[in-house]
Amino acid sequence: MRLFSYHDKSNKKSIGVLCKKDSDEFVDVCATDASIPADLSSLIAMDPDLGLAKGALSNPNAIIKNISDIQFDILIDRPGKIVCMGLNYADHAKEGGNARPEYPSFFMRGPSSLSSHQAPLIRPRVSDKLDYEAELAFIVGKRARNLNRENALDCIAGYSIFNDGSLRDYQRKTTQWTIGKNFDQTGGFGPWLVTPDELPRGAHGLQIQSRLNGSVMQNANTKDFLWDVAETIVLITECMTLEPGDVVITGTPAGVGYARTPPVFMKPGDICEIEIENIGILRNSIQDQE
């Protein structure tokens, strides 16, 4: 299934499930089943296997709508945690002047840094160095602590796409990356959550690509992870409890703007697309902060 958060022209919030992989039609699961909450995080918390959404999709009386009539909302509006990885592709670590790390770089994002599919990413007044980063995201469905490689993937509700928009000058003002990764509305997230049954185990072997105004900037494959999804979960859950609705961002490959000669940063009017094979395309325009 492919689930997404949205609001309609009357600003009513709901959850949709695509009727088919490439369809413009979807089932309004909340209108079809009144027991389903109107935000995806609450649905995952009450029904981690998403059986209610599956039931609405197969309901012969399902309420069918069209994507052209709605606006996407941030997939998980206010995650309890957004855990991000850095340097998870060897080629990106190398272009940043780093050897293969012994341990991943982890940092956190806050919910106010997120932006939805088709909404703008905001370049702040204080910097013109807004960079793109194509990343696979996964959403936690079940409480997870001290997992191992054999059971790690069982906690995942689904996978999605993330653009880890980064203000490179602010990222390098301190030894920690957090400040450059948390400007408001710089992290594109969506368009939908794809359940694990529709993808290879651990989302392994998927092409991942970023495009800026149609030009390919990054082109890699999740098979090139230094730490795959299962190992990432093992490392995180030996430190902290992952809870339903938490989001984990798995790192970006080579080709980011700051490492180019000359550097390429996103500017107002640009369109940035992140595509991951069998998941979809996350598309955001770039606007200046008002």
Buried b (16+ CB within 10 A) or exposed e, 183-214: bebbbbbbbbbbbbeebeebbeebebbbbbee
Predicted local distance difference test score (pLDDT) of residue 92? 58
Place of tokens 């490179």: 168
Tell whether 281 and 223 lie within a shared domain: yes
The verdict on residue 160 lying in a domain is yes
Same domain, 48 and 119: no
Same domain, 114 and 65: no
Phi, psi of 167 (to 5 degrees): -90, 100
pLDDT of residue 113: 98
Hey, what are 115's tokens? 């932006």
Buried b (16+ CB within 10 A) or exposed e, 100-117: eeeebebbebebebbbbb
Interatomic CA distance for residues 1 and 209, integer angstroms: 22
Distance, CA of 110 to CA of 118 (rounded, Å): 20
CA–CA separation, 173 vs 168, rounded Å? Answer: 9
The answer on 218 and 100 residing in a single domain is: yes
Distance CA 136, CA 286 (A): 21
- One domain for residues 56 and 112: no
Q: Is the peptide bond before 79 cis (omega within 30 degrees of 0)?
A: no
| Domain edge (last residue) among 31, 52, 72 | 72
* pLDDT number for residue 90: 78
Is residue 217 included in any domain, yes or no? yes
Q: Is residue 77 part of a domain?
A: no
Residue ending a domain, among 72, 99, 129, is 72
Question: Per the structure, how many domains does the chain have?
Answer: 2
Domain that holds residue 275: 82-288
Q: Is-contact 86 42, C-beta < 8 A?
A: no
Tens place of pLDDT per residue across the chain (290 aa): 999 999 999 999 999 999 999 899 999 999 999 999 999 999 999 999 999 999 999 999 999 999 999 999 999 999 999 999 988 997 755 665 566 678 999 999 999 999 999 999 999 999 999 999 999 999 999 999 999 999 999 999 999 999 999 999 999 999 889 999 999 999 999 999 999 999 999 999 999 999 999 999 999 999 999 999 999 999 999 999 999 999 999 999 999 999 999 999 999 999 999 999 999 999 999 999 99
How much is the pLDDT for 87?
Answer: 86
What pLDDT score does 95 carry? Answer: 60
Query: Do 45 and 87 sit in the same domain of this protein?
Result: no
